[in-house]
Amino acid sequence: MLCFSEINLTLNKIKSTNRIGILAIWHTSFYAFLFMFLTSCSSIPSWVHKLPAGCEASKAHDLYGTWIRRQASIYGPYQEYIKDKVSYSSESIQIDESGFQLKHILALPKNDRYVVSTIIETGTFKRCERLLLLEPIERIEYEDIVFTDQHTRGFRFPNPSNIVRIEKGWPLLYFIDERNKSLIPYITYKFGKLYASGIFEGTQEPFDSHSLPFLATAERYGEKESPPHSYKKKK
């Protein structure tokens, strides 16, 4: 029952902040929110938070750099009708010899302002062949209010300033898709929440990264745009 009440609360927020084109937005947004909330109520396999026992560390120099998860407005094709009420988001993973930084930013319109939520995780990583484990040491959540005139200046994410909470976060396993040059989390992780969907659905056994059903599932999730799932390396 908790999950369905959250669905109603989220949809009510969409209604109150977007009065123009609301019927069009409803059809685009409802199923995406329904999917995300229902899967968050399902079970999540424990092995997606670790590497297999006895797995020897591999070199990771080819992973150094910035990985970007492409984003689309939650309003889809109807965005052109509500240009003064557009959502913005940015998701990235930075990896170097010192560790990693994951940053998720979501800006949602509210009246004449934007509520900008930022999650920044920093920590260490381990690679084992085609598997990558990101282990957060610290996760900081921020929330800022931004006033902006989108028609003249466009939207720019602020430097996060108002800390909401500090915690550790979850270790998370990624599949290194060398053919498509992407990182794909085994389980959906967006804006600080885990959802029981992802490429683990195609695994024949824990830590599977080679079977044909798994590779087909990874290909499907790697191409998803709503919601986007994989991170592509920035050139």
In total, how many domains does the chain have?
1
CA 200 to each of CA 187, 215, 225, 230: distance values in angstroms, whole numbers, following the listed order: 6, 10, 18, 14
Which neighbouring-strand residues pair with 193?
A: 190
d(CA 82, CA 76) in angstroms, rounded, equals 11
CA neighbor of 126 nearest in space, from 181, 65, 56: 56
Report angle CA 192, 187, 133 to the nearest 5 degrees: 85
104-155 pLDDT, tens per residue? 998 888 877 888 999 999 999 999 999 999 999 999 999 999 876 655 455 6
Residues of the domain holding 47 = 2-233
d(CA 134, CA 77) in angstroms, rounded, equals 34
15-73 pLDDT, tens per residue? 444 444 444 434 444 444 444 444 444 588 999 999 999 888 888 999 999 999 877 55
